[in-house]
A and B are shown apart, each in its own frame.
Chain A
Amino acid sequence: MVAFRSSESSGRSTGLLLRCVLFSLLALGLMIIDKRYDHLGKIRRVLSIVAYPAQVAVASPFQGWAWLRESLTTREALRADKTKLEDELRVAQFRLQRYEALEAESRRLRALRDSTNGVGSRFIIGDIMDVDLDAFRERVLVDKGARDGVYVGQAVLDAGGVFGQVARVDQLTSEVILISDAAHAIPVQDNRNGLRTVAVGTGDLSRLKLPYISTAADIVKGDLLVTSGLGGGFPAGYPVGTVVEVKRDPAQSLADVAVSPAAALDRSRELLFVWLTPATPTLAATSLSTSSSSSATAVAPTGAATAPAAAAKPTAVAKPSAAAKPTAAAKPSAAAKPSAAAKSSDTAAKSTDTAAAPTATAPTTADQATGDGKP
């Protein structure tokens, strides 16, 4: 501030100082309002519509180039592509036959167990826009926004597995935070033995880490990690990544585990936005403890050491609710679910799109479940 005295005329200098202080206070005020209260969501949304043409202008040459390349491919290349896709489709359909039976069984079992672990029910596809947001944060801009019903905290997948979740929703676009972002964490489960933990991003597209694995835990290179569905933000059972390295230092209490993400975080163009369907309408608290405690007893005792919360809850607490619910009653409610869930996810979109919560546990589905369960 000393420097301000050395301007050529004192009149202009005070003018500059005044404006500087004014604009700085304005900026500080904006920051405080934006951070403390969520009143600026609308302003931000309007401003983002102003920014949209610039983003489209930047992205369109790349899209044009992709289109040009696609329209200039030869007949042979197209035929080869077609054969390959047909082969893939055959394999996929073959797998799907089995999968549908399994899914039905899984729904029945979930209904029996009173679990709220959601199942992905409705999808829309969004394209990543060729726009760099911030070099030091792993985020992408996608061309689906509040207009399409996208909401903050929504799970986003690609063909390989979990891609990330929605961090911010504008009218026409939304910002997706990748699972590799240093500020992102996702509840996962080892597919081999059910060991539950949290996978945290590293800021490197090709790496996640598991910071809360004890050195004694049963985890080895090559293990597949899938979403555990705890916390309700992500649908359960989707691949997150494979363990590529486990370093155990006997002097440390926690192991150093590196995970390679299953989704093509650096190559994907199309993303799937998922709407969750809770398996049964039920009281969130009891069912959450049911699911976590029952799986805690099912897995090896090592799981209990690293599992966050709820694991300490005795099974007895959860039992009454599970036992009281007859299978016959659970079934029709599960069948009636999809339409109701679609509605409630829409309302959730409205209520949560101003809340900026790019953390692993989005509260939306838990809230939904309680709302559904009360009547």
Chain B
Amino acid sequence: MMRDERIRRLPVAMSALVALTLGILPLPNALAPFRPDFLVLVVLYWSIESPRAGGLTLAFFAGLALDVIQGVVLGQHALALTLMAAWATNLRLRIRVFSPVSQSLTIFAFLTGYQFILFWIDGATGNPVTSFGRWLAPVIGALIWPFMVRALSRLHEH
């Protein structure tokens, strides 16, 4: 039983680490707004596919890592990720049987909700981001979701 849990957790931790790295990889300034929230996508994937492996604990600590790296108020990404992961976990049985297009649309809703919570906290803590660029990430994220699922499910199977 213990061993079983462990085997399931390794790919989760690995994918989260890779996503975190992709998130801080330097991009040219023109491309930076097009970077999807890799870590959010990974957390959503594990919330839908195998909530017991990662679940809300993964979401909370992944969010905390983002807070520390980006230097924003501690707990901002953690709150947004926790709420979205809980929502995704709750709807996972339905999402699993969705067609790829409606799956992407659902992910788009999650990502937008995530950005909205960030946006709201940014405003509440007094350093709002004025650019519209941040609303681009959910679109890109929803577009790459099918590829993400393919890559992660291969990792999951192994």
Contact = CB atoms under 8 A, between A and B. Distances in A.
Interface of A: 3-4, 6-8, 13, 16-17, 19-20, 23-24, 26-31, 33-35, 40, 43-44, 47-48, 50-51, 54-55, 57-59, 62, 130-137, 139, 167-168, 175, 182-183, 203, 205, 266
A40 B64 CA distance: 13
Given A3-B87, A130-B26, A20 B21 contact: no
Main secondary structure of the interface of A (DSSP, over half): helix
Contacts of A55: 24, 69
Nearest to B130: A182
A34 B134 CA distance: 24
Given A16-B90, A23-B82, A30-B75, A54 B20 contact: yes
Nearest to B79: A27
22 contacts: A7-B90, A7-B93, A13-B90, A20-B82, A23-B60, A24-B79, A26-B75, A26-B78, A27-B63, A27-B76, A29-B75, A31-B125, A40-B74, A47-B64, A48-B68, A57-B21, A58-B21, A58-B24, A134-B71, A136-B33, A136-B133, A183-B127
Contacts, number: 127
B87 to A, nearest CB: 7
Interface of B: 17, 20-21, 23-27, 29, 32-33, 35, 51, 55-57, 59-60, 63-65, 68-76, 78-79, 82-83, 86-87, 89-91, 93, 121, 125, 127, 129-131, 133-134
A334 B146 CA distance: 67
A172 B73 CA distance: 20
Contact of A139 (B17, B71, B86, B125): B71
A91 B29 CA distance: 34
Most chain B CB within a 10 A radius of its CB, from A26, A33, A48, A62: A26
B129 A136 contact: yes
A133 B69 contact: yes
A8 B93 contact: yes
Contacts of B20: 54
Contacts of A135: 32-33, 35, 133-134
Given A51-B69, A135-B35, A266-B29, A31 B90 contact: no
Main secondary structure of the interface of B (DSSP, over half): helix
B82 A24 contact: yes
B131 A203 contact: yes
Given A31-B75, A58-B21, A203 B29 contact: no
A266 B74 CA distance: 28
Contact of B129 (A16, A34, A131, A137): A137
Given A3-B90, A23-B57, A27-B63, 8 more contacts: A7-B93, A16-B51, A24-B83, A35-B73, A51-B65, A58-B24, A134-B72, A135-B133
A27 B27 contact: no
B30 to A, nearest CB: 11
B76 A31 contact: yes
Nearest to A55: B24
Given A136-B131, A203-B130, A266-B29, A167 B68 contact: no
A43 B67 CA distance: 12
Contacts of B72: 134
